[in-house]
Amino acid sequence: MVDMGENQSKEIDTHFSALYSTIMHVDMDAFYASVEQLDFPEYRGKPIAVGGMDKGVISTASYEARKFGVRSAMPVYQAKKVCPQLIMRPVRMMRYQEVSAHVMDILGSVTPVVEKISIDEAFIDVAGSVRLFGAPVQIAQYLRSEIKNNVGISASVGIANVKYAAKMASDCAKPDGLLYVSPEETLSFVQSRPVRDLWGVGAKTLQILQRQGIHIVGDIANISRDRLVALLGQAQGIHLYELAHGIDTRKVHAPAEEKSISSEQTFYTPLYKVADVEEVMLSQAHVLARKLRGKKKSAKTISIKIKFSHFQSLTRSRTLIEDVTTAEKIYNVAKELLRDIDVRSGVRLVGLRVSQLNYGAMAQLDIFGDSGRQENVEKAMDKIKDRFGSALVSPASLVKNELKAENREKNTGKKKN
Ligand SMILES: [Mg+2]
């Protein structure tokens, strides 16, 4: 009775989301500064700050520096005044993005509903994950320890049944904490917090409210909607009225599903040999497999694209019965697709694409088979690459092309965020 099963599971989900708060706001603690302390152990336990090099202001201060009163957006000279031993570090955005991607991957391992709102924070909704992973608090504890153990920095988590309350809860939990607000507690929790903690309340609004003697969210709740609209204008007035009464209909929005992942390389000097094209495909297969694993996805369709010197181009694709996740399998299919193509007129572009993506590590099904073993080998390589960069771990013949492929991707791609 398939139908009954499905109905039943829907009922259970609704039941859980009424019982538990399931919206989490995950926020990395002093993110840039924490990454510096992770990468340079000599800065751990010391007051450091990131930023300052060009604009002369602090981006992020470590908690050790915050004790002295160093804050974000503070001019460096002022920070040095309140904390003379402050160590300044330059912003290394590429590295922070890399760490951020790793954190987002961990969040994605418990739910596909991940809404990244900045480099170091995201909302997730675990309503659909409760049956599989346990109560939201357990999931949050798991995520916090995964981030600490695998990335090496700390995240604070707030859980509530509406987005803005979850964000307020993570603020309260900082640093390195977890705060769960049950559905029944949400309203009183929110109303007890200062107005400035409300998500989206800027300095101007804050000033207007403070002039009226409004300091905590509960004060707003005591004011009529009309008066708030008169004070703050239609949109902001109604918005704050609703927030003060615990109303927030905003859902956690996962980004649109990716339909495919691809990698392409162009050549100024055309390739005339099958072996050369295959070598490019092998490196692309590694790039794609790594991305698939990062997204906990598998693919069913593999396509190749070849452009010739005379600008003619063609594509070939094959859909497989089973899902693939490994570079080895992707490469083997690509090689077969290439077999019937005559490359002797010169290849100017080689592209490899995987599509029909499925969420979930399908390869677990044959974890004891060959591809399971291959996947583990490739996963181990991913880990090393995450730590030391790509060039270090690849079969020697691949290193050159892989670097080229990655550069190309950096140049072309803002396909995803
Ligand atoms: Mg943060």
354 and 381 fall within a common domain: yes
Report the range of poorest mean pLDDT among 23-27, 67-71, 106-110.
106-110
Residue 118 CA to ligand 1 centre (angstroms): 9
10 and 63 fall within a common domain: yes
For residues 312 and 153, which has the higher predicted lDDT (pLDDT)? 153
Residue 204 CA to ligand 1 centre (angstroms): 23
Residue 119 CA to ligand 1 centre (angstroms): 8
pLDDT, average across residues 68-95: 94
In a domain, 345, yes or no: yes
Domains: count for the chain:
3
Evaluate if residue 138 carries a pLDDT over 90: yes
218 and 147 fall within a common domain: no
Q: How many CA atoms lie within 13 A of 304 on its CB side?
A: 25
177 and 201 fall within a common domain: no
In a domain, 61, yes or no: yes
Residue 155 CA to ligand 1 centre (angstroms): 8
Confidence (pLDDT) at 100: 94
Residue 31 CA to ligand 1 centre (angstroms): 6
Looking at 244, 276, 291, which one is the last position of a domain? Answer: 244
Confidence (pLDDT) at 302: 95
pLDDT, average across residues 298-304: 92
In a domain, 129, yes or no: yes
Confidence (pLDDT) at 201: 85
Looking at 184, 210, 233, which one is the last position of a domain? Answer: 184
Residue 385 CA to ligand 1 centre (angstroms): 25
Considering the chain, what percentage of its residues have pLDDT values greater than 70?
A: 81
Confidence (pLDDT) at 160: 96
What CATH number is associated with residue 271?
3.30.1490.100
Confidence (pLDDT) at 19: 81
| Mean of per-residue pLDDT scores for the chain | 84
What CATH number is associated with residue 16?
3.30.70.270
Task: Give this prediction's pTM.
Answer: 0.61
304 and 403 fall within a common domain: yes
Q: Is residue 121 among the annotated active site residues?
A: yes
Query: Which residues have CB less than 5 Å away from ligand 1 (the ion)?
Result: 27-28, 120
* Structural domain for 235, as ranges: 186-244
120 and 210 fall within a common domain: no
365 and 320 fall within a common domain: yes
Looking at 184, 203, 235, which one is the last position of a domain? Answer: 184
**pLDDT grade for 14, boundaries at 50, 70 and 90:** very low
pLDDT, average across residues 187-195: 95
| Catalytic position from the list 36, 64, 115, 121 | 121
229 and 277 fall within a common domain: no
**pLDDT grade for 353, boundaries at 50, 70 and 90:** very high
174 and 197 fall within a common domain: no
Burial annotation 154-185 (CB, 10 A radius, 16+ → b, else e):
bbbbbbbbbbbbbbbbbbbbbeebbbbbebeb
